[in-house]
Each structure stands twice: as C-alpha cells, then as structure tokens.
C-alpha cells in the first residue's frame, strides 16, 4: 500500500475524476476527505470510500469562497491529525467563443478552477509547512498547452494552474512540499458526457491511442505523484492524454 496512513483532502471528489482519485488513494491505504459543493453526492462518495476500510468524511466546500476554504481545511487537519495530500480537482466549464463569452462565465471558471486552487493551496501550505511535508497535486488539462476553440476561460484557468504549481514548487520545496500537476486529455466523465457522439468521434481521431481516457487513468497518475516513489519530483506536469499532445 503506497499511501498507508496518509491523510488526503480532495476537492470536487463527489464524482468523476475526483471520486476515482479518492477510491484509488483509499485502496492504497489513505484516509480521504471528500470536499465538494454537492454535499449529498459527497456523502454518498465518502460512504463508498470508507467501505474500503479507511476513514472518509464528506466536507461541504465551495473552493472559490475563502472563508469556507479556511474553515474546511483547518477542520480537516484537526480531525485527521496531519495534512499530507491536497488534490486541487474541482473544476467547471462555461464554454463559448471569446466574442460571445460573458464576463460572468469568465469569472465563474477562473474563480473555481484557478482562484479555488490558490486558496486551497495557501491554506494547506500553512499546515504542511509546519509538518515539513506535503504533496499538492492540481488537475490541469491538455487545453492549457494546446488552447481550445470555445474555451478561452477554461484553457486560461488550466494554464494558470501550471504557473501556480511551479511557483509553489519553488517557494516551498525547502519545507518538504512537492507541487505537481496532472494534465488529462479527454476523459469519460459528466464533463464530457454532454458532447455529441460526432464530437467524441472527432476527438478520438486526434488521439493516437484511439480512445478517450478513463477517470482511473488520471487517478493512477495522481496516486503516483502522491506516493513515495515520486518524492524527488516537483514542479512537473504529467500528461495523461493517449498521446494527443506530446
């Protein structure tokens, strides 16, 4: 078990990629806080995770709300004893071509995807710094590197996460904190379920491995970065995209 006894706080973990990370980390022996805006789904996910034999609780969290973040992360550390792993996974899309993109769609995406990760990382670092140990893993996206028509807000937020990750890696390496990002390609979740079969077929043509990824593909990369095997890795981006961007 690669994460035996570690305590992990995962944002947006009630479903999709975040939930897969939670289940995968639990199978490796980690205790998991499922932090999400959707408390009902978070509670259901925490129940599934604790059935794997680890401690798991649901925490109501809007990552874009500073007061909520401070209170949630502090109470997690108090309840679990240590704060070993933060996964900045919560994210949303509000797509539209730039000329038609409303300011509120830009703000909503940047506030949750980028500012949310800044707020959670800042609070986690206060605790991890005192422990002289911590792993921060942020879920970026392939579109941070390629851009994507219709996603000016989303691709900017995901590119911002790379700058945030590298900066945290430089500022806090001396306190034993590692910061890395995982950049998934197109993964089968609720976020991509809304796309038509035609769009998905077009996507597959652009993927050398010929298929969309699964949430477990992303979870495996996150678990690796959280594990001891990746202790000498910081400030990096691990691409999980079937070869669609190299």
Show which residues are catalytic.
Answer: 154
Location of structure tokens 């491995």: 209
User: Does 187 help bind ligand NAP (rule: CB under 6 A)?
Assistant: yes
User: Does 62 help bind ligand NAP (rule: CB under 6 A)?
Assistant: yes
Residue nearer to ligand NAP on the CB measure, 14 or 168? 14
One residue of 99, 190, 194, 246 binding ligand NAP per CB under 6 A: 190
Give DSSP secondary structure letters for the chain. Answer: -TTTT-EEEEETTTSHHHHHHHHHHHHTT-EEEEEES-HHHHHHHHHHHHTTTS-EEEEE--TT-HHHHHHHHHHHHHHHS---EEEE-------B-GGG--HHHHHHHIIIIIIHHHHHHHHHHHHHHHHT-EEEEEE--THHHH--TTBHHHHHHHHHHHHHHHHHHHHHGGGTEEEEEEEE-SB-SHHHHTS-HHHHHHHHHT-TT-S-B-HHHHHHHHHHHHSGGGTT--S-EEEESTTS--
Kindly state the smallest distance separating residue 191's Cβ from ligand NAP, in Å: 3
Kindly state the smallest distance separating residue 4's Cβ from ligand NAP, in Å: 26
At 68, list the tokens: 């909520």
Residue nearer to ligand NAP on the CB measure, 134 or 184? 184
Contact, 25 vs 8, CB < 8 A? yes
Residue nearer to ligand NAP on the CB measure, 120 or 169? 120
One residue of 63, 114, 137, 222 binding ligand NAP per CB under 6 A: 63
One residue of 90, 137, 177, 219 binding ligand NAP per CB under 6 A: 90
Binding mask 105-144 for ligand NAP (x = CB under 6 A): -------x---x----------------------x-x---
Dihedrals phi, psi of 5, to nearest 5 degrees: 75, 0
Kindly state the smallest distance separating residue 145's Cβ from ligand NAP, in Å: 11
Q: Compute how many residues bind ligand NAP; rule: CB under 6 A.
A: 29
User: Does 24 help bind ligand NAP (rule: CB under 6 A)?
Assistant: no
Dist. CA 51–CA 135, nearest whole Å: 25
Segment lying near ligand NAP (by CB under 6 A), choices 7-15, 97-105, 196-204, 225-233: 7-15
User: Does 16 help bind ligand NAP (rule: CB under 6 A)?
Assistant: yes
> Which residue ranges make up the site for ligand NAP (CB under 6 A)?
11-12, 14-18, 36-38, 61-64, 89-92, 112, 116, 139, 141, 184, 186-187, 189-192
């Amino acid at each position: 078990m690669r994460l035996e006894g570690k305590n992990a706080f995962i944002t947006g973990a009630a479903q999709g990629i975040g939930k897969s990370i939670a289940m995968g980390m639990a199978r490796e022996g980690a205790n998991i806080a499922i932090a999400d805006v959707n408390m009902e789904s978070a509670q259901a996910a925490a129940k599934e995770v604790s059935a794997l034999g680890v401690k798991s609780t649901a925490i109501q969290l809007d990552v874009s709300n500073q007061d909520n973040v401070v209170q949630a992360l502090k109470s997690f550390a108090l309840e679990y004893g240590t704060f070993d792993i933060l996964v900045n996974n919560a994210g949303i899309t509000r797509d539209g071509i730039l000329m038609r993109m409303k300011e509120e769609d830009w703000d909503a995406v940047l506030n949750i995807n980028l500012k949310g990760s800044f707020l959670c990382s800042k609070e986690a670092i206060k605790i991890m710094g005192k422990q002289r140990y911590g792993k921060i893993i942020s879920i970026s996206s392939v579109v941070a590197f390629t851009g994507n028509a219709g996603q000016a807000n989303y691709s900017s937020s995901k590119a911002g996460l790379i700058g945030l990750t590298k900066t945290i890696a430089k500022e806090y390496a001396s306190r034993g904190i590692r910061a890395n990002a995982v950049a998934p390609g197109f993964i089968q979740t609720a976020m991509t379920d809304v796309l038509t079969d035609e769009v998905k077929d077009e996507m597959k043509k652009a993927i050398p491995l010929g298929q969309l990824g699964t949430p477990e593909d992303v979870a495996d990369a996150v678990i690796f970065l959280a594990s001891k095997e990746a202790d000498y890795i910081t400030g990096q981006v691990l691409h999980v995209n079937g070869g669609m961007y190299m």
